[in-house]
Amino acid sequence: MEFAQLITGMVNRKRIARDKRVSRKTLSKKFKPFFDHPLTAEEVWKIWPPRISQTQEPWVYGVDGKWLRRQGVILIHRDITHKENLFWSFHKSESYLALHEDLTKLSGLIAQTSGNLPVGAVSDWKMAIVIAVACHFGPIPHQRCLAHVMRLAKRLLPEHSPIEATLALRQIALDLKAIQDHKEKQRWQAKLKHWEANYGSLLREKTLGSPEIKKKWWYTHGSLRRGYRLLTHDQEPLFVYLNHRLIPKSTNSLEGINSQLDQRLGNHRGMKIAQQVAFVFWYLTFGKEGNNLPKLRRLWDYWKRAFLDQKSTRLVT
């Protein structure tokens, strides 16, 4: 139970060592088997079946990645509607192959239980995610996360830019998150058209290179062009939530997990990458059940049997 409290941040090592009257070194030895043998998402499904495996309630799928110092990424697949972690894994990158591997396993788990596939999805709209979701869940409505769009827009359209067109387009981008219905959407699109009529010539301005530079020319306002394209190219995924009220406009549920993980990992600096992966796996395992004693005992019994089986197998071989 102390290990669950450590992972979820309810207490720290110093507090546990003091309460148990043991040294931190002894505590680390006690916790080492958990870091060496974290449970997989498939195993957690057996112990704590998620809500979607037992009902036909509609739900929305979300996915995001938690990078670990550029050494790899933990893909987190979540039931956004019921705020449950469904699947997680560690990969070198957020590639289509990684997503395909995960979704093959996740859709297999769903097929073995309720067969309850998501009615929609929300993500940061990386093409690998879009293709993988469509391949495994069919042509479901897929919302592009507006929080990610806002973040990119702010980077491309800086707040203190001396260019009037940049500041005007930045404000239009910031207004995107406040749209609540189709009338507001139309007014927002009208603002974009008005901006293009006033400042569109800047998007076509070119700068000629000198003889010493290989590049002959480039667009003078490259970031402005990218910011405009961000808001105008393929707008449909930006407004899926207007037609499907169950689908949120952002992946805030997953962003919250990433933020909490940053804090938890920051509290345990010095862990090697394998330990960080194990820490995150356990954090996702406990989810919102970190203080549910009956469920923790069930998990502990399963882990203890699995760990002892692995140990005896190694001794035999």
Whole-prediction pTM value?
A: 0.89
Coil, strand or helix at 215 = coil
Coil, strand or helix at 14 = helix
Beta bridge partners of 78: 62, 85
In Å, how far are 24, 205, 233 from 167, measured between CA atoms?
A: 54, 18, 20
Beta bridge partners of 87: 77
- Let me know: does 52 contact 86? Beta carbons within 8 Å: yes
Please name the helix (run of DSSP H) or strand (run of DSSP E) that holds residue 218, with its range, or none.
strand 217-219
Predicted local distance difference test score (pLDDT) of residue 1? 66
Predicted local distance difference test score (pLDDT) of residue 311? 56
Top pLDDT among 175 and 266 is at: 175
Top pLDDT among 286 and 2 is at: 286
Q: What is the mean pLDDT of the chain?
A: 90
**pLDDT score of 315 more than 80:** no
What residue ranges define each of the domains in the chain, with the CATH number in brackets?
A: 2-145+250-316 (3.30.420.10), 146-242 (no CATH)
At residue 247, what are phi and psi to the nearest 5 degrees?
-85, 125
* Highest mean predicted confidence (pLDDT) among 17-21, 56-60, 282-286, 298-302: 56-60
pLDDT tens digits for range 99-133: 999 999 999 999 999 999 999 999 999 999 999 99
pLDDT band at 235 (very low <50, low <70, confident <90, very high): very high
Query: Of 84-88, 145-149, 288-292, which gets the smallest average pLDDT?
Result: 288-292
- Residue 20: how many CA atoms within 13 Å on its side-chain side? 18
- The stretch 296-313 carries a mean pLDDT of 77
DSSP category for residue 162: S
- Output the six-digit token pair for 67: 């990078």
Measured CA to CA, the distance from residue 84 to residue 65 in angstroms comes to 16
Measured CA to CA, the distance from residue 222 to residue 73 in angstroms comes to 30
* Count of CB atoms situated within 10 Å of the CB of 89: 19
